[in-house]
């Protein structure tokens, strides 16, 4: 009876737990048909629904299907029950690369081998329009032969997720490994940001410690922004030169992967991975496989949040990434980076911008629901004769009357800190700043008093310290 209870979907026999997190557990398992050892990731649907991580799971499915490569952990199939989602994945028995580094720095040849495999895997991901965005030794696994495997694509992005400016805008990753432009929050090239993280990984492998580390978070971000790091004396001149090109704080002059592969230090002993013809055949049916996997995972009890059927005019990419929702408005989910940068005392904008007009933006927090906040803005718009446009997490108020500098336009973006706590950022999109300030002080703020918990700079702090300890703010 006990053995029967450990059989999953009549396909896999579950064994011991390999690891667990807030929303998932990973089990050692065996494919009953082939006898192959696999890892089964079990995700709790209810938990991811509560914290709004559905899009992240969908994106992880689609990305892992797209990047079938020897140095990337492979996703075999996706299954689901009413309450759980199951990923059947390649079992990588060597553990995390982090465990090796924790015992001390690596020899140069060993570090170079791992770096070569990392660059090869990242280059392949980029060729498929996938940007990892959380590259670090903890997310790099080793197989029984000591070969590197990139894992954990939960924070990854697809090329289709870029906005009209061609850049990504979601601030995510692990603070010590993120590129300066990611912290900047003005948009970034996913490929350039991944290259920076690869450089930090190389430094850690060779040094045994981080290049940008400080107990003071602001000071660490300042070092990252300026690209201030010091190589230990055991680093060879060739490595120092390569790292200076990778950890270039200017993404426009940062070295590309193509140039990294041409570097003499990198090329020593390098053996590129050759893709076979069967792989090309798999690539041609990837979109169908992805669509089926997403259907399997979410069609049973999440139909009200995600429709598995689409018209011929709807693109698949709009339904899985950071793109726009075609169903209902939903607030932007805030992660730890957003909280740090928006909280008083942690405003990082002065590190990146010489001047900024702070009179044209303000923030407030509310314990009301997102729909209640939107309704309030609609009420204000009706009273003040604005046109209202809702798009994803954004409410746009477009003035009907022309002012001194054209029509006044105001954007209000809603961020979800927790399901019962929201932050709203109000900005002037166009028009006269003086007219904007008069409207905010005389009309907007008094009208919002029923839903506002605190305005930025008010007597009450806009964010309570204990919110930073909430499990939803894992980075």
DSSP string, 347-402: --GGGT-S---GGGEEEEEESS-HHHHHHHHHHHHHHHTEEEEEETTEEEEEEEEE
90, 31 Cβ separation under 8 angstroms = no
Q: Which of 44, 109, 123, 134 is catalytic?
A: 134
Burial of 51 (0-12, 13-18, 19+ CB in 10 A): middle
The first and second tokens of residue 298, run together, are 């979410």
Paired strand residues for 428:
410
| Paired tokens of 258 | 């193509």
Tell me how far apart the terminal alpha carbons of the chain are, to the nearest angstrom.
Answer: 40
Quick check: helix, strand or coil at residue 117? helix
- Residue 239 burial by Cβ neighbours in a 10 Å radius (0-12, 13-18, 19+): buried
Confirm whether 248 is a catalytic residue. Answer: no
* Separation CA 436–CA 343 (nearest Å): 24
Q: What is the Cα–Cα distance from 271 to 117, expressed in whole angstroms?
A: 9
Buried b (16+ CB within 10 A) or exposed e, 429-454: eebbeeebeebbeeebeebbeebbee
Report the residue count for the chain: 475
C-alpha to C-alpha distance for 169 and 156, rounded to whole angstroms? 12
Note the maximum CA span of the chain. Answer: 78
CA nearest neighbour of 67 among 127, 3, 22: 127
Residue 182 vs residues 123, 137, 221, 409: alpha-carbon distances, Å: 19, 19, 11, 27
Annotation-wise, does 41 bind a ligand?
Answer: yes
The two tokens of residue 53 are: 């991580």
Contact 140, 157 (CB under 8 A): no
Q: Extract the tokens encoding 367.
A: 């314990």
Neighbours of 259 (CB within 10 A): 14
Residues with active-site annotation: 134
Binding site as annotated, residues for ATP: 41
Residues that constitute the known binding site: 41
């Amino acid at each position: 009876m006990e053995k029967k209870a450990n059989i999953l979907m009549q396909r896999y026999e579950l064994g011991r737990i390999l690891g667990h997190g807030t929303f998932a557990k990973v089990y050692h398992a065996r494919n009953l048909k082939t006898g192959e050892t696999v890892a089964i990731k079990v995700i709790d649907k209810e938990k991811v629904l509560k914290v709004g991580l559905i899009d992240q799971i969908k994106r992880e499915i689609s990305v892992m299907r797209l990047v079938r490569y020897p140095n990337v952990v492979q996703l075999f199939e996706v299954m689901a029950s009413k309450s759980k989602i199951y990923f059947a994945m390649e079992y990588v028995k060597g553990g995390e690369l982090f465990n090796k580094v924790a015992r001390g720095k690596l020899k140069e040849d060993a570090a170079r081998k791992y770096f070569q495999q990392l660059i090869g895997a990242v280059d392949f991901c980029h060729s498929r329009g996938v940007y990892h965005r959380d590259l670090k030794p903890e997310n790099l696994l080793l197989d029984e032969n000591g070969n590197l495997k990139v894992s954990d694509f939960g924070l990854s992005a697809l090329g289709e997720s870029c906005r009209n400016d061609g850049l990504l805008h979601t601030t995510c990753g692990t603070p010590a490994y993120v590129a300066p432009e990611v912290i900047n929050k003005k948009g970034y090239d996913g490929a350039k940001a991944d290259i920076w993280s690869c450089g930090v990984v190389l430094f850690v492998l060779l040094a045994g410690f981080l290049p940008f580390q400080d107990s003071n978070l602001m000071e660490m971000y300042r070092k990252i922004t300026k690209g201030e790091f010091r190589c230990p004396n055991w680093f060879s001149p060739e490595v120092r030169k390569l790292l200076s090109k990778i950890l270039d704080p200017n993404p426009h002059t940062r070295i590309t992967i193509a140039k990294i592969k041409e570097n003499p230090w990198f090329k020593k002993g390098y053996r590129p991975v050759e893709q076979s013809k069967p792989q090309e055949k798999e690539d041609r049916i990837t979109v169908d496989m992805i669509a089926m996997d997403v259907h399997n995972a979410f069609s049973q009890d999440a139909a009200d949040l995600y429709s598995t059927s689409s018209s011929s005019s709807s693109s698949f990419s709009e339904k899985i990434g950071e793109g726009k929702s075609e169903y209902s408005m939903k607030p932007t989910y805030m992660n730890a980076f957003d909280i740090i940068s928006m909280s008083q005392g942690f405003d990082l904008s002065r590190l990146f911008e010489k001047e900024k007009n702070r009179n044209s933006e303000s923030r407030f927090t509310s314990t009301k629901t997102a729909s209640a906040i939107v309704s309030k803005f609609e009420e204000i718009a009706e009273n003040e004769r604005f046109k209202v446009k809702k798009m994803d997490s954004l409410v746009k108020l477009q003035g009907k009357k022309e002012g001194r500098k054209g029509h006044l336009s105001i954007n209000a973006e809603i961020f979800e800190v927790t399901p019962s706590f929201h932050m709203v950022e109000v900005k002037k999109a166009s028009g006269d700043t003086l007219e904007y300030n008069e409207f905010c002080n005389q009309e907007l703020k008094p009208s919002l008093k029923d839903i506002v918990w605190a305005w930025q700079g008010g007597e009450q702090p806009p964010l309570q310290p204990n919110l930073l300890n909430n499990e939803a703010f894992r980075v």
